Amino acid sequence: MPPVFREDPYTGYNFEVVVAGVSEDGTAVRGSFSEAMIGDTSMDPIEYRNGSESLTVRKIPGLIKFANITLKRGYTGDLAFWNWLVEAMNGLVRRTEGSIIMLDENRQFAGGLNAGARAAFAAGAERVLLLNNDTVLAPDALRLLEDAMFGRTAAIAAPKVVDLHDPARVITAGERVMLPLLCVPRTLLRYRPRGDAPYAVSGAMGCALLVTRECFEAAGGFTEEIQVYYEDVDFCLAARARGFGAMIAPLAVVRHDGMRGFAAGLTPWAAFLKARNPWLVVRRHGSALT
């Protein structure tokens, strides 16, 4: 079997640090590190002796000592996360809450999404926003995606995706996900923008998805065997088979570096995945009629 390569720039950065409360809009920010060292938290006892006891040493809890967290060789595409670190280095420390997620193996794009989503659900989240690391959200994109879900049956909400370097060029405003047409280039099957109102679609590109917990868990998350390429098609089919719909919120805009993804797809391993993965999708969701 050919070796597995990550297509994103975080190779070897298996410790993801997620921090809340430092961005302007309140959303969590994150960075990845190759090493994370966390020492032991300790509590030193205070020893004392009662005046009437000459041989017995008694103890009561003393001060709690929290160990330092050391992060090495980091990488982030999130400016708010970087600014938070720079402020701390300059003496302006903003205490906040956060978590460190360890991925002890390279689980590719699908596995990384699953790990992050399940960590969010374990912390009590009811929805997760799943993003490529080469996407940039408009300031109001998340609010508009949530508004599009409110009062509707859709459990997957996706934005209009435009090119990072040419925002006038729309990359996708919805995907037509149908097994009989799986061999047709996706660019020929995409929905065209339909004005400003949210509208239902059969699928959405996986670079930016707002997904409910109920839908994610019912679909079983992303199929890690697929790794990358067609993992979004597989997920949308699994969700739809369980009664969960998808919709596009066209006023929610996400900028995506499509050329970087295109260049990453010109490797032998990417060519192998693009040839193999449609068959995996058909095997998982096909029938005698399809």
Confidence of residue 106 (pLDDT cuts 50, 70, 90): low
Rounded to whole angstroms, how far apart are CA atoms 282 and 25? 41
Rounded to whole angstroms, how far apart are CA atoms 270 and 260? 13
- For the range 56-62, what are the long-range contacts, defined as Cβ-Cβ under 8 Å and sequence gap of 24 or more? none
Tell me what pLDDT residue 149 has: 87
Rounded to whole angstroms, how far apart are CA atoms 138 and 125? 22
Tell me what pLDDT residue 241 has: 92
Architecture of the 125-285 domain: Alpha-Beta Complex (3.90)
3-class secondary structure, 81:
helix
Tokens matching residue 194: 């339909």
At position 64, the amino acid (one-letter code) is: I
Task: Give the dihedral of Cα atoms 159, 24, 30, 248; nearest 10 deg.
Answer: -10
pLDDT of residue 136 exceeding 60: yes
CA distances from residue 127 to 14, 49, 80, 217, 263 in whole angstroms, order as listed: 24, 55, 22, 11, 31
Rounded to whole angstroms, how far apart are CA atoms 240 and 9? 32
Does 215 or 179 have the greater pLDDT score? 215
Burial 251-261, CB ≥16 within 10 A → b, else e: bbbbbbbbebb
Does 110 or 104 have the greater pLDDT score? 110
- Find out whether 208 and 158 touch, Cβ atoms under 8 Å: yes
Q: pLDDT of 162-193, one tens digit each?
A: 998 899 999 999 999 888 888 888 788 888 87
Q: Where are the domains of the chain?
A: 9-38+69-106, 125-285
Nearest to 138, CA basis, from 254, 257, 22, 256: 254
